Structure 1
Amino acid sequence: MRRTGGSRLRAAGVSLAGVTMLACAPALAVPAKTAAVKPVPRQDPSAPETVEVSGIRRAFTHASAQHLADSATRLTAERLTERGVVDLRGLEYVAPNLTVQSINGTASTNFYLRGLGFNDFTQNNMGPVLTYVDDVAYAYSTMASGMMFDLADVTVTPGPVGTEHGQSTTGGEVKLQTRDPTNMFHFGASQDMASYARSRSEAYVSGPIARGLSFRLAGQVRQGGGWQTDPLDGAHLGDANSWALRAKLKWTPDSRTTILLSGHVMRDESQVVGAIPIARLIGSAPIPTVGWTQTEWSAKDAFTKLIGRKAGLKPSEDNWFWGADLHVAHDFGPVTLTSVSAFETEREGEYTDQDATAAAQADTYRTIAANSFTQELRLSNTHPEDRLQWVIGAYYQRSRMNQSFYFDYTDYRPARGYMQVSRFGLDQEATSEFGHVSYRLPGNVTLFTGLLHEIDDRAITGLTSQVYGGRTLDFHSESTAAAQFAGQVGVSWQAARNVLLYYKMSKGFKPGGFTANNTQVQAQLAPFGPETVLTYELGLKSDPIPNVLRINAAAFYNDFHNQQILGTILIPDYGPLSQLTNVPKSESWGFEGTIDIHPFRHLFVTQNLGWQRGTFQDFPTVNRARTNAYYAQHGVWKAINDNFAGVDNGQPKLTLNGQLDWRQAVSPDYAVEFGPNWLYRGAQALTPGGTGYYRLPPYFLLGAHVTLRPASDHWQVTLYASNILNRQYYTSGGQATTTYLYIPGAPRFIGGRVSCNL
């Protein structure tokens, strides 16, 4: 039934009408028997909560997941709202050992989970960490831009996956689950306004249409928030300008069949975050001196005319994303068949000033036209209480992409001094078969194993590199294919009702690909090879004091072969360029954990901790720092080669994030919640062995919020602040021609949010 009266305040750990509730989480009963490794079917996250007559609720969410042998971080929509997580980048504020970096301040993102990931500006390769939205794997991470609204929950799973669903990966996955249609009529809206005229608006409506047929329509609009200015003319940069819609139609023709059709569209014309030049690598001309919230940019009329954009173009997006998916599930009694079909489309136009100066030394405009079709079939046993749990399935994915990169180097003299365009196409197809089985033995011991076989074929075609007014280079096509096995084997032991121990070994596989953004010689198109990793993981899930203390932790060791990272290639008489390559042998190890504490009625604390180290054991490549230094001294490009054996992989060693909430009744009808949140990230090397300005400095951020809500929970008002200390920090960086750049993080924001749900 729907929550009424003082249920929300009781859930918040405050007392109304003599009834005390322990937490704000939905009630989740702990099973009497140990759950098998295979997850239980997901409950409808949009369904109204029930209120227990006894007034007792559990302090922590996802109680049933405490019996699953994984190290996933599971986040409710409420937790994401409390922390102000509205995009993929914000997930690193609420999960351990996770880094999500915007590429040059744009909508494109790169994921690093437990230090595993790579920097792929072209976004034409499969990443080590995949993004899923409603069980649909997105071939290119940019396709998930603007999808984080009307969410039910988010799950971040590190390590190799793929034996139970979807596609094999080496680094893990980020799964977004949006809310489904409801059988009762609901609607709601929220308005968030903050510093720098930032506005975020969301709304939804959901309910029945006819017997067995229901719908949900949700949307969001984002405006403003740009906090950068150009010191040369005071021009403003960084305003958001986007909208998105999602529609779902759910049909249950009978008690055993569910058909869910979903479609979405997203339009993004937001400005991007400009870079700050840190050091000039070549030449003696000074770099601009700008403040933390300042950046320079330029777009010459000749360049905007060439790319078909209006004069005075600011660094910005011009993107459309749309797609549709169909989920069909039928319970045949002993088995359930699930089908997931999806088609996703990306149309991107993106201008960035990659020299961060008023000169045209590395102005870049890229266009992407891409689409992806996926089909998944799964057959599994229906009853989660059975000792034997199993799932088998098959997965198919086909994607097509065409990209164009325009560069304005007219002020980069004497090295270039021209405008240039590179174009290419990409064709990719993959199939896989997977299976996973677990069996619960006497003594609360569960054995589990999984196997996956994947075949991937991809080719880069029609690549040309044209200098306007000069030469045109045509390159022949390259292709790469891979067929490998991945799998998992492990054991879990339910040592006590609230204590689970597990150990597992997992092999992950990821196909190879191509580097193709600024190609000058055929050797740049040589494909990099597949990546494999063997991961050993030991984990603990426990509620040693139920409703008071929860401790989840995992330790891991990764043994990599041909790990894919962004290295360097030197083009004679041109300079160093980034090149995705393979590290023959590398390793990483570490641990992560989450502690939830509810020591007394009003106080709730969550602390995530991640620590990891990694080294290259064999990695011969060009040392970019020494190569740049040699050119600066001698005026000649000469590759200085090194083997980075024994060198740290450069990923942040320590990541911390958490929050504290105090929940207090202020009257019989109202409650207030308030508290701080925090984030710490260690230093990150941007090139192998990077030191000095080749390394992002560590940073610490502090935020806070206070929320007032009535007992009915039909509305709430929140005041919040992020980066309260107004710390200067940088989220990513890189090199463009003669300068090394950092992308700055946002300054202090103070805002308010009003929401209602009826």
Structure 2
Amino acid sequence: MPAKGSATTVLPARHSSSVVAAHPAQRVHGKGGPVVSRHATDVDVSARRHDFAYPDAQHLPDATTRITAERLKERDIVTLRGLERVAPNLTMQSINGTASSNFYLRGAGFNDFTQNNMGPVLTYIDDVAYPYSTMSDGQMFDLAGATVTPGPVGTEHGQSDTGGEVHLHTNNPTDVWHYGASQDIASYARSRSEAYVSGPLAKGLSFRLAGQTRHGGGWQTNPLNGDHLGDADLWALRGKLQWKPDSHTTILLGGHFTQDNSQVVTSVPVHRLIGTQPLPHMQSWKEAEWSSRPAFAKLIGRKAGIKPSEHNQFWGADLHIVHDFGPVTFTAISAFETEREGEYTDQDGTAQSQADTYRTIDANSFTQEVRLSNSHPDDRLQWVVGAYYQRTRMNQRFFFDYTDYSARRYMMATSFGMNQESVSEFGHLSYRLPHGVTIWAGLLHELDDRSITGLQSQIFGGATQNFHAESTASNQFAGQVGVSWQMTQHALVYYKMSKGFKPGGFTANNTQIQAQLDPFKPETVLTYEAGFKADPFPNRLRLNGAAFYNDFHNQQILGTVLIPNYGPLSEITNAPKSESWGFEGTIEAHPFSHLFLTQNIGWQRGNFQNFPTVNRAKTNAYYAQHGVWKAINDNFAGVDNGQPKLTLNGSADWRQPIAHAYSLDFGPDWLYRGSQAITPGGTGFYRLPPYFLLGAHVTFRPASGKWEATLYARNILDRRYAESGGQATTTYFYIPGEPRFIGGRISCGF
């Protein structure tokens, strides 16, 4: 049930998701002044009926997917990775089953195990950019909605990027009292609890406090001893204090804290690269082997018998100041975010200690953004200018246990520091011409400096290597131009060209030679996009779509480097030339009373036009045959980029009134993701198989909306599928997805 008093509500439409827009330099105003978030959901208090959400966005030329809070709850989306179930051309995958995630949007993305580089797709929460996606762990509660924006961004707000952004919008304080809670219980003793309270403290001063806890849900078992794995153990709090000293000023102070001690899903090996030991034999796909040696647990300072798990703490604070001077509006956003992570994974997926890994991350990030924009959204000329500053500091340490790997038989650690600082200036303007035509243009300039320091590789009981520092700097421009035409009241077409930029960085995992620390280059992309939005039968049928072509230069890709007498290691490198193209669309239909249908469609293709690298498959095959590591170099020119070609998600919802006092909503939902390569040019076990998942829900609520009860199911058919995958020294592994979950939820709000 949507949180009462949300500052971002569409009435009376309850839930919908569509490919919609956030127009350049255009802001949304709600009750009591401007909404702080540029992407905040439009407030519609007119008497006109809307059966589809976000009607105003149908007049805005972009391909952003907007998802209501109701849709997020209905589809049981409680983590960032769940957004791939409601947005097209989006793939979000856990790194080795942990809270860290890799994003791929329209084929733009890369696998960064160490999470010390800026991703092609950035995460924002309430206009605050999170440079490392893990920092957002545990914050998907008390939401007002979410948006997914594909393609280059940065000329209107925040930081430049090449792939796009995922933006979460949380509920703001209210000037009247509201409170509520929900309890969710499901299979495998999974429990989720949420609560919030919001209201005034004094004239012009209001607050909101919300929290959540998660427990249980572990569904993996170890066939060796019957132990189980995967239980959640997380709690999080968020507080906001809003002060409106006058009708032109809004000051919003927010803070949050997350403690995550959850166990993680562990890997299942699918192929042995090194050695002759047979892979573990599982009676069920819900089984997996793991282990931890007491000596390794003592080394990392954890209790003996530690399971694959997180020991993470995140906290941060942000300050938003908005003042309307009349002709212009001033916005300032200051934020500080911290990450304290301790993460244990058994990556080889066996009872042997061949790739057991523990890492610690101590990171913080400070960001400052200022913007000036015109205050009147009805003016023909809309504009925004601003500047953005980011400073991050990080220290990581990786521990590896190779005791049962005959070629090494030792424990080792790699540690390093990371310093980064960037500043950018941006501007964007649009002008509305006669006959429904609008033109716009934006420009961004960014300076980025980053360095990796103090990297040390230590073999316990053996040698210690120290590596000298490396640094890299970027100085780039990005921009956008476009035109749109509102052909009729219910039909819009647009075309735009965008250049995106992302700075370079470093690969720091398991470093053995200095050359591994050579920085990879910045990534740039020139994106061409054409789209349309149409309501051919208002309140009955909505059709939105966009086609795109991405021309990448130095695309950052996880490639392979071979270390003599050691083996192949992953390394982020650059593909000098690559491309991707495709389309995405949303169909929303209300063919007759009570029935509502939504279907998101994403299709994309891509290939490398020039990508010289080590061919991991051929190199592994040579070692298997000759017992000697020899790099088999190749150029993947013409090879597919490996991203899923087809992604589908949708739902059917029947809304049935009962005796004028109650309503019953029920229906299925579905998700399909095509095959995905987990290494460039991968075939066979180097690819994740395609999969189809089916879910359903039934919700009963009174007309007052003060409470609701829901029964739901995910993966009803109990399909076996792989959510992500990778390599760990001796094996290639898959991270299995969740089995069937059946649950119930009761929510109330006043």
Task: Say which of 26, 51, 59 aligns to 1:39.
Answer: 26
Matched, 1:473 2:460: no
Q: CA deviation at 1:668?
A: 2.2
Matched, 1:328 2:321: yes
CA contact (8 A) 2:3 2:749 kept: no
CA contact (8 A) 1:558 1:588 kept: yes
Matched, 1:302 2:295: yes
1:274-423 matches, within 5 Å, as 274-290=266-282, 291-413=284-406, 415-423=407-415
Amino acid at match of 1:318: H
Aligned to 2:170: 178
Task: Say which of 204, 225, 235 aligns to 1:233.
Answer: 225
Provide, for residues 572-614 of structure 1, a one-character-per-residue CA deviation record: whole Å limited to 9, x for no partner.
0000000000000000000000010011120100000000000
Distance 1:607 1:206 in 2: 35
CA contact (8 A) 2:184 2:744 kept: yes
Aligned to 2:659: 667
Q: CA deviation at 1:63?
A: 1.1
Could you say if the C-alpha distance between residues 650 and 609 of structure 1 is closer, same or farther in structure 2, counting changes exceeding 3 Å?
Answer: same
Task: Say which of 435, 452, 455 aligns to 2:447.
Answer: 455
Distance 1:534 1:195 in 2: 46
Provide, for residues 214-243 of structure 1, a one-character-per-residue CA deviation record: whole Å limited to 9, x for no partner.
000000000000000000000010000000
Aligned to 2:130: 138
Distance 1:645 1:309 in 2: 46
Could you say if the C-alpha distance between residues 163 and 280 of structure 1 is closer, same or farther in structure 2, counting changes exceeding 3 Å?
Answer: same
CA contact (8 A) 1:397 1:430 kept: yes
Of the structure 1 ranges 273-282 and 420-429, higher mean CA displacement relative to structure 2 is found in 273-282
Secondary structure of residue in 1 paired with 2:692: strand
Could you say if the C-alpha distance between residues 181 and 750 of structure 1 is closer, same or farther in structure 2, counting changes exceeding 3 Å?
Answer: same
Amino acid at match of 1:39: Q
CA contact (8 A) 2:41 2:145 kept: no
Distance 2:351 2:27 in 1: 56
Distance 1:569 1:668 in 2: 67
CA contact (8 A) 1:3 1:49 kept: no
Secondary structure of residue in 1 paired with 2:358: strand
Aligned to 2:590: 598
Secondary structure of residue in 2 paired with 1:443: helix
CA contact (8 A) 1:351 1:366 kept: yes
CA contact (8 A) 2:419 2:450 kept: yes
Q: CA deviation at 1:281?
A: 1.3
CA contact (8 A) 1:424 1:461 kept: yes
CA contact (8 A) 2:443 2:479 kept: yes
1:464-613 matches, within 5 Å, as 464-613=456-605
Provide, for residues 252-296 of structure 1, a one-character-per-residue CA deviation record: whole Å limited to 9, x for no partner.
000000000000000000000011110101222111112210111
Q: CA deviation at 1:36?
A: 6.7
CA contact (8 A) 1:36 1:384 kept: no
Q: CA deviation at 1:753?
A: 0.3
CA contact (8 A) 1:565 1:583 kept: yes
Secondary structure of residue in 2 paired with 1:491: strand
Matched, 1:424 2:416: yes
Amino acid at match of 1:721: A
CA contact (8 A) 2:386 2:425 kept: yes
With the length of structure 1 as denominator, give the TM-score of the two structures.
0.95
Amino acid at match of 1:546: P
Secondary structure of residue in 2 paired with 1:79: helix
Distance 1:237 1:35 in 2: 42
1:94-133 matches, within 5 Å, as 94-133=86-125
Task: Say which of 21, 24, 49 aligns to 2:14.
Answer: 24
Of the structure 1 ranges 288-297 and 77-86, higher mean CA displacement relative to structure 2 is found in 288-297
Could you list the runs of 5+ residues in structure 2 that have no partner in the other structure? none
Task: Say which of 735, 743, 748 aligns to 1:751.
Answer: 743
Matched, 1:433 2:425: yes
Task: Say which of 673, 689, 702 aligns to 2:681.
Answer: 689
Distance 1:285 1:205 in 2: 57
Amino acid at match of 1:605: L
Amino acid at match of 1:532: T
Secondary structure of residue in 2 paired with 1:146: coil
**Percent of pairs with identical residues:** 72
Secondary structure of residue in 1 paired with 2:637: coil
Q: Which runs of 4+ in 1 moved over 4 A?
A: 34-37, 44-52
Distance 1:550 1:48 in 2: 18
CA contact (8 A) 2:23 2:62 kept: no
Amino acid at match of 2:591: P
Aligned to 1:7: none
Distance 1:565 1:693 in 2: 20
Distance 1:296 1:285 in 2: 14
Amino acid at match of 1:404: R
Provide, for residues 525-549 of structure 1, a one-character-per-residue CA deviation record: whole Å limited to 9, x for no partner.
0000000000000000111111111
CA contact (8 A) 1:164 1:392 kept: yes
With the length of structure 2 as denominator, give the TM-score of the two structures.
0.96
Distance 1:140 1:756 in 2: 34
